[in-house]
Amino acid sequence: AQKVTQAQTEISVVEKEDVTLDCVYETRDTTYYLFWYKQPPSGELVFLIRRNSFDEQNEISGRYSWNFQKSTSSFNFTITASQVVDSAVYFCALSEAYSTGTASKLTFGTGTRLQVTL
Amino acid sequence: DTEVTQTPKHLVMGMTNKKSLKCEQHMGHRAMYWYKQKAKKPPELMFVYSYEKLSINESVPSRFSPECPNSSLLNLHLHALQPEDSALYLCASSPRGSSPSNSGNTIYFGEGSWLTVV
């Protein structure tokens, strides 16, 4: 069975600090996909990144960066110079395949609530 | 930017009411989903439609009835709900994949409908 663990329930930082959100996953599949989503208080789940299991290159997008390490089954997310607008719940997720149709199934972690204060 | 739109944004209904949640996407996606999210929990999958056909029902009670009138629309009909059904209901869609398993398709979520059952 697939599993995603986000051990950090809540993190509080002061604006401009760097913060890393941890994600550890378990799967028996050799091909899999990992995702990060952001959920602000409004409720929408905003897609941030997708990474497949064959691509271990780290990725940077503005103040966001992701570190994928298959050796430790981790896919960590770093926000550099955090801002108040980064306050949200962040979910890491692992995708598995359904045998039919075009659908995907996401296994979510429990989420990390990030609070950025002035 | 997400192009999954959900209505209504907020809904309050009595336990004897019949109401519907609506979802629309114009991205040409062929898989659509309903998720339920309780406070401080990750989203839980309810239903999956693939090519307008129900392909996955995660043992959801019959008081929730999904409908997919066409490839762009997804409804969730609600009847005789219980107070514990109060939650955020998220609609989502994903594109047709190129791989046989489609496990890597990104799922895009709407803003959700906040449901309160009184």
Question: What pLDDT digit, counting tens, does each position of B27-66 carry?
Answer: 888 889 999 999 999 999 999 998 899 988 999 999 999 9
- Whether chain B has a CB inside 8 Å of the CB on A9: the answer is no
Inter-chain touch B42–A109, beta carbons under 8 Å: yes
CA distance B32 to B21: 14
- Asked whether B77 and B63 are in contact (CB, 8 A), the reply is no
What's the CA gap between B10 and B30, in Å, rounded? 26
Give the residue on A whose Cα is nearest the Cα of B109.
A45
CB contact at 8 A, B34 and B90 = yes
CB contact under 8 A, A35 and B106: yes
B50 and A102 within 8 Å at the Cβ level: the answer is yes
- A35-to-A82, B60, B64, B104 alpha-carbon distances in Å: 20, 25, 28, 10
Query: Counting beta carbons within 10 angstroms of the beta carbon of residue A49, is it exposed (0 to 12), middle (13 to 18) or buried (19 or more)?
Result: middle
For residue A104, give the nearest of B41, B88, B94 by CB distance: B94
Q: Take residue A16 and report the two structure tokens written for it.
A: 């401009």
Per-residue pLDDT tens for A70-105?
A: 999 999 999 999 999 999 999 999 987 554 555 677
